[in-house]
């Protein structure tokens, strides 16, 4: 089985000769940029450079998928957010379009043609052509909760979700169409699966808020977007994995704040799990022995796609990601694991 097929099979918890290795979020480090000769911010703004750096996830690190949208601001830039694209050692940051939930906000008609969307769409097309027969090509979109933070500002959006929930729901319905349109465009360019990132972490969003504002929307996204979806939420999500399970989404990319065995128990039989390896403790600071031990434990409890919990810290050594990929393939390929 090719790496691509192993990854896509594992997204459905299917049988494969080994576990998959992958990430729904960025695996770029500064030493990987040096190795490939492409750095931030160019890799956010130039489709050829974006594709080249993303391809290294497969060709250099040995992951079974590639994912070129390294930042969280692409479609938000296309919606009108002013974005500082950062530099080699810093991820981009952006500013909201509106200051109040009552400000008029229109989704620009041609937002898919703005560079924020057009660049990653072109990069996905290049990746499909260059590595798409071997590695799974994964796109990324943000859900309407995160887009709401970006368009209206985090504080304004959160306060409004408590005081004026109907207004928030109204905006989320409109932003949902942005998520669907960007996802459909990514599928047209060759994405095999899509990361759906929504920053509804416990610090900012209670389990009841997830249930009332988001579970239905994530279910609708699953029904409308015609490819497997990988939901990514940072932080401790143990109080909402049961709601996520009910959305029907294929896979959940989880943070190590949820112990892997607990995540597996909460996810049940159908929801595939990706990630769970700590970015600081293991990916940045771990020795090869610690990485192997972490991988072995995640395999033992039934994590389907081994990988980092979230976007890898830029100052992590990429050798550790190679070690993780090698360990996952070696340990899961042993007959005793099946």
Minimum CB separation from Zn ion for residue 76, in Å? 16
Contacts of 82 (CB under 8 A, 6+ apart): 94, 95
- Site for Zn ion contains 205 (CB under 5 A): no
Contacts of 268 (CB under 8 A, 6+ apart): 245
Calpha distance 25→299 (Å, rounded): 20
Please list every residue from 210 through 249 that binds Zn ion, using CB under 5 A. 234
C-alpha angle 87-73-104 in degrees, rounded to nearest 5: 135
CA atoms within 13 A on the CB side of 28: 30
**Piece in contact with Zn ion (CB under 5 A), picked from 71-79, 87-95, 181-189, 309-317:** 309-317
Per-residue x/- track, 256-295, Zn ion (CB under 5 A):
----------------------------------------
Minimum CB separation from Zn ion for residue 235, in Å? 8
Minimum CB separation from Zn ion for residue 254, in Å? 10
Tell me the helix, strand and coil percentages in the chain, rounded to 5: 50, 10, 40
**Piece in contact with Zn ion (CB under 5 A), picked from 62-70, 286-294, 297-305, 306-314:** 306-314
Minimum CB separation from Zn ion for residue 70, in Å? 13
Nearer to Zn ion, 55 or 233 (CB): 233
Helices H, strands E: what count in the chain?
15, 10
Nearer to Zn ion, 131 or 274 (CB): 274
Nearer to Zn ion, 115 or 207 (CB): 207
Q: Kind and range of the H or E element at 66?
A: strand 65-66
* DSSP annotation string for 154-178: HHHHHHHHHH-HHHHHHHHHHHHHH
**Piece in contact with Zn ion (CB under 5 A), picked from 95-103, 163-171, 264-272, 303-311:** 303-311
**Piece in contact with Zn ion (CB under 5 A), picked from 215-223, 310-318, 319-327, 328-336:** 310-318
Nearer to Zn ion, 19 or 234 (CB): 234
- Give the closest residue to 237 by CA, choosing from 271, 262, 269: 262
* DSSP annotation string for 240-276: THHHHHHHT-SEEEE-TTS-HHHHHHHHTTTSEEEE-
Nearer to Zn ion, 9 or 237 (CB): 237
Per-residue x/- track, 157-186, Zn ion (CB under 5 A):
------------------------------
Cis peptide before 41 (omega within 30 of 0): yes
Nearer to Zn ion, 6 or 310 (CB): 310
Minimum CB separation from Zn ion for residue 234, in Å? 3
CA dihedral 331→256→132→78, nearest 10 degrees, is -170
Nearer to Zn ion, 126 or 274 (CB): 274
Minimum CB separation from Zn ion for residue 213, in Å? 19
Nearer to Zn ion, 21 or 310 (CB): 310
Minimum CB separation from Zn ion for residue 57, in Å? 17
Residue from the set 27, 310, 321, 331 that interacts with Zn ion by CB under 5 A? 310
Q: Contact 308/283 with Cβ under 8 angstroms?
A: yes
Nearer to Zn ion, 251 or 310 (CB): 310
CA distances from 122 to 85, 87, 116, 191 (A): 18, 22, 11, 11
Minimum CB separation from Zn ion for residue 277, in Å? 13
Minimum CB separation from Zn ion for residue 203, in Å? 12
Give how many residues touch Zn ion by CB under 5 A. Answer: 2
- Positive or negative torsion for Cα 318, 138, 266, 219: positive
Binding region for Zn ion (CB under 5 A): 234, 310
């Amino acid at each position: 089985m090719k790496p691509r097929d192993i990854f896509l099979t594992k997204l459905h918890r299917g049988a494969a000769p080994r576990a998959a290795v992958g990430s729904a979020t960025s695996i770029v480090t500064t030493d990987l940029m040096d190795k490939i000769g492409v750095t931030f911010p160019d890799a956010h703004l130039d489709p050829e450079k974006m594709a080249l750096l993303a391809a290294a996830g497969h060709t250099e690190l040995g992951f079974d998928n590639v994912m070129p949208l390294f930042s969280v601001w692409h479609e938000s830039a296309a919606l009108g957010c002013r974005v500082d694209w950062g530099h080699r050692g810093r991820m981009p940051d952006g500013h909201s379009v509106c200051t109040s939930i009552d400000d008029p906000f229109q989704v620009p008609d041609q937002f898919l043609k703005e560079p924020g969307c057009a660049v990653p769409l072109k990069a996905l097309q290049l990746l499909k052509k260059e590595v798409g027969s071997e590695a799974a090509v994964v796109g990324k979109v943000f859900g309407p909760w995160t887009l709401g933070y970006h368009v209206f500002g985090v504080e304004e959006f959160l306060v409004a979700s408590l005081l004026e929930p109907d207004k928030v729901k109204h905006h989320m319905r409109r932003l949902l169409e942005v998520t669907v349109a960007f996802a459909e465009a990514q599928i047209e360019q060759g994405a095999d699966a899509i990361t759906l990132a929504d920053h509804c972490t416990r610090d900012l969003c209670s389990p009841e808020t997830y249930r009332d504002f988001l579970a239905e929307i994530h279910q609708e996204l699953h029904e409308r977007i015609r490819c497997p979806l990988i939901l990514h939420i940072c932080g401790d999500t143990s109080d909402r994995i049961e709601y996520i399970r009910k959305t029907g989404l294929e896979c959940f990319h989880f943070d190590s704040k949820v112990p892997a065995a607990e995540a597996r128990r909460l996810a049940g039989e159908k929801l595939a799990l990706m990630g769970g390896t700590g970015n600081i403790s293991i990916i940045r600071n771990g020795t090869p022995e610690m990485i192997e031990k972490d991988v072995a434990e995640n395999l033992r409890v039934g994590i389907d796609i081994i990988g980092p919990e979230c976007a890898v810290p830029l100052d992590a050594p990429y050798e550790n990601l190679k070690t993780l990929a090698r360990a996952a393939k070696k340990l899961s390929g042993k007959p005793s694991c099946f």
